[in-house]
Structure formats: C-alpha cells, structure tokens
Amino acid sequence: MSNEIYANVEFDNDNVEDLYTNKETINSHDSRSKTKDVSTKSRPLATNPGTESSERRSTRDAAVCLGLLCVLLLAGIIGMFVYYNGEMGSFEENILVYKTNSSAEQAQLQTKYNAMTKERDQLQVERDDLQAKISVVEQHTQQGWRYYKSSFYWTATDFSPCRYRELREEIHQRCCSVSGLLCVLLLAGIIGLFLYYNKEMGSFEENILVCKTKSSAEQDQFRTRYNAMTKERDQLWVERDNFQAKVSVVEQHTQQRWRYYNSNFYFISTEMKTWEGSREDCVRRGADLVVINSREKYVFIHGLSKETFWIGLTDRVEEGIWKWVDGTALTTGYWGRGQPNNQNGMEEDCAARWSDLSTTDNGWHDAPCNELHFWICEKMA
C-alpha cells in the first residue's frame, strides 16, 4: 500500500499501533496461505503504513476543514436570524404608526361631528328665538304698535273713530301679511338648513362607517400578515435547530472517521474481513454495507479508497440474481470486463470494488465471500 493510499484514508492516532499489528497479522496469514489454491482475482496487497507525521497532518487538515464548515453554517444561520429579526421589528413599527394615524383620523372626525352638532343646536335656538320674537311683534301690531329695527312705536292721532279703526285694520292686515311672509321665509330657511345638515350628517356617518370598515379590513390584513410572519419565523427557528442538530451529528461522526456525503455517513475500514464479517461490523456501528444506486454515488464511493473493498451486493440467495443488502434488486451495475463470472467454477457470490484498473465506469468483481478485503459502511445522517 503506497503513501498516497494512506493519505486518502483517515486514521486515529491512537489506532496506529493496532494498524501495524493488523498488518503483521495479515502478512502472517498471507504467508500461511501461499500453499493454497486461490482465484486469480485474489492477490496479496502490499501495505506501507507511511509516516506518523503524514497521518497527523491529514487528521489536522480534516479537523480544520470541519471547523471552517461549522463556522460558515453558523454564520449563515446568524445572518438569517438577524435579517428576519430586523424585518419583524420594522413590521411591528409600521403597525404602531398605522394605529396612531388611524386613531388621529378618528379623533379628527369625532371633533368635526361634535362641532356640527353644536352648530345645529345653535341654529335650533336661533329658530326658537325668532319664533318667539315673531309672536311678540304680532301681538304688538294687533294693538296698534309699529315695529322698526327691533323697536315698537305708538302713534297718537286725532282721527275719527271710524278712520282710526280703518287705519288700524289696514295696519293690522299689513303686519299680518309681513309677519306671515317672514314666518314662511324663516320656516323655509330652517327646513332648508335642517335638510342640508341632515344630509351632511348622513354623509358624515356613512364616511365614518366606511372608515371603520376600511380600518377593520386593514387591521385584519395586517393581522394575517403578522401571523404569516410569525409562522415563518417559527419555521426558521425549527430549521435552525435542525441544522444545529445535524452539524452536531456530523461533527461527532467525523471525529469517529465517518465521511459525510448527501445526508449519509460512510465508514472506511482499516482492516480486512470476510463479506459477512464486514457486514456484521457495519451493523454494530448502526449501519450496513454500502448500497450504490446511482452513478453520482458510485463516483463518490470510488474516490474514497484505492483498495479492494466489499460493497453490499450479493447473489447468495439465488444464483445470478444480484440484490443489495436493503433487499432492492440491482438495476445498474458497474462490473469489470467479463464480470461476474464465478471464475474457475468457484462460488463467487459477493461483490467488491476491485483495486486493479477500476474506473468510475467499471471495477466491480464477484469474489468468494470468505476472502478478506476492506469494506465501506453506510448509514443515514
């Protein structure tokens, strides 16, 4: 195994000695197995642990990248919170201004209404005074008095009683005519004023009703917008909490040598086991052997390691029917040339990504399930 291979695989510093022990065990096992007849696909893998400083540098670089990612995510969340907090403050301030303006407008309309009511009452008083004054004038004119500029005048004459009666009757008739005409004019004016102000009052009350309806509709609209904004804010809080929880989970798993990709975690083994032993190790970690169901995913998995490693694909249940460990059937495979082939009549019922000449278009081989290879585990975040 070259230094480049060890640079692509993350190791814990505390497990370096275990790695050397595993290497010696593997080499010892390989030396005992030289006399056995094995498939041409099974070739011993040369391993070179590399230097301790290279391992430490890879671990430090990964920690720096993870810390930078956490800082960027936290900065984005804080920015979103500050932005929406400012929007909420501006929205509440606008609501307060609207309420203040609406109250001032209603106060102004009420003042106008009170002034008009006062003016109507004053006109009614003046009308009553004029009616009383007309009654007094009528009484005095019947007694022979003359009225001029708010004053009564009595004229003594030496006319004969007949002439006096005729003149008195004439004056009385003229005064009655003038008083009647004046009463008609005053009554017409009062009726006109009453109709005018009654109409104005009706229009004023209608305007007040329209203003109240409009104000109520605007308040309902603001209330609806406020509720929508509150709901959106609560949703952002939930998303922020979910992101924070997800970042925490990613941080914990990356410290345990898991890789994160597309909402899934991937674990690359540092020792070799059989296909069944590899799967048991994944299950103990709360995962399973990796399932490759898209080209994008295979390109990512292909770049995780240059070694041969087990994948979660087998036809042990029914020969020739390849299924993933999650029970789904294989739809698109990336087999190497001539694979799968059960070479030399051996039962090669488990699939692995072979290290020799593998590309992102091919590289899968079927192999005996009891062979020892590395493996990759997968679980959802």
Contact 254, 381 (CB under 8 A): no
Using DSSP bridges, classify how beta strands 146-148 and 350-353 pair: parallel, antiparallel or unpaired.
unpaired
Shared-domain flag, residues 103 and 216: yes
* Model pLDDT for residues 34-54, shown as the tens digit of each residue: 434 434 334 444 445 556 677
Quick one: 184 and 91 in the same domain? yes
Write down the pLDDT at residue 154: 67
pLDDT confidence bin for 327, thresholds 50/70/90 = very high
| Last residue within a domain, chosen from 226, 251, 276 | 251
Q: Which two tokens stand for residue 379?
A: 């679980």
| Structural contact between residues 259 and 350, judged by C-beta atoms closer than 8 angstroms | no
The dihedrals phi and psi of 190, each to the nearest 5 degrees, come to -65, -45
**Does residue 72 lie in a domain region?**
no
- The beta-carbon contacts of 121-124 under 8 Å, at least 24 apart in sequence, are 123/190, 123/193, 123/197
Per-residue pLDDT tens digits for 162-202: 766 777 778 878 888 888 888 888 888 899 888 888 888 88
Return the pLDDT at 33. 43
Count of the separate structural domains present in the chain: 2
Phi and psi based region of residue 359 (left: phi greater than 0; alpha: psi -120 to 50; beta: remaining): beta
For residues 317 and 312, what is the distance between their CA atoms, to the nearest angstrom? 14
At 212 the pLDDT is: 85
- Taking Cα atoms as reference points, which of 193, 214, 191 lies closest to residue 109? 214
Same domain for 241 and 96: yes
Question: Would you state the pLDDT for residue 256?
Answer: 87
Say whether both 203 and 228 belong to one domain. yes
What's the token pair of residue 374? Answer: 């590395």
Q: Find where tokens 């009595």 sit.
A: 154
Instruction: Kindly report the CATH number assigned to the domain that includes residue 43.
Output: 3.10.100.10
User: Residue 354 and residue 310: Cα distance in Å, rounded?
Assistant: 9
Q: Do 263 and 243 share a domain, yes or no?
A: no
- The reply to whether 246 and 310 lie within a common domain is no
Vertex 54: Cα angle to 51 and 59 (nearest 5)? 130
Task: Report which DSSP code applies to 15.
Answer: G
Q: What mean pLDDT comes out for the span 317-336?
A: 92
Largest alpha-carbon pair distance within the chain? 175
Sequence length of the chain is 381
DSSP symbols for 102-153: HHHHHHHHHHHHHHHHHHHHHHHHHHHHHHHHHHHHHHHHHTT-EEETTEEE
| Cβ-Cβ contacts under 8 Å for 114 (sequence gap 6 or more) | none
Q: Among the three residues 191, 217, 251, which one is the final residue of a domain in this structure?
A: 251
291 plus 236 within the same structural domain: no
Per residue in 79-124, pLDDT (tens digit) is 887 886 777 777 778 778 878 887 888 888 888 888 888 888 888 8
Question: Using CA atoms, how far apart are residues 361 and 292, in angstroms rounded to an integer?
Answer: 13
Q: Is there a domain that residue 34 lies in?
A: yes
Q: Which residue, of 208, 229, 251, is where some domain finishes?
A: 251
Contact 325, 350 (CB under 8 A): no
Q: How much helix, strand and coil, in percent to the nearest 5, is found in the chain?
A: 60, 10, 25
Is residue 28's pLDDT more than 60?
no
Which residue range forms the structural domain that includes residue 322?
3-50+257-380
285 and 224, same structural domain? no
Q: Rg of the Cα trace of the chain?
A: 52
pLDDT of residue 41: 39
pLDDT at 284 over 90: yes
3-state secondary structure 171-216: HHHHHHHHHHHHHHHHHHHHHHHHHHHHHHHHHHHHHHHHHHHHHH
Assess contact for 344 and 39: CB atoms under 8 A: yes
Averaged pLDDT for residues 139-164: 68
| Range 21-36 average pLDDT | 43
- pLDDT 10s digits, 55-84: 678 788 888 888 888 888 888 888 887 886
Q: Which helix (H) or strand (E) holds 165?
A: helix 161-255
Cα–Cα distance, 217 to 207 (Å, whole number): 15
**Per-residue confidence (pLDDT) for residue 156, from 0 to 100:** 58
- Check whether residue 100 and residue 209 sit in a common domain: yes
pLDDT in tens, 364-377: 999 999 999 999 99
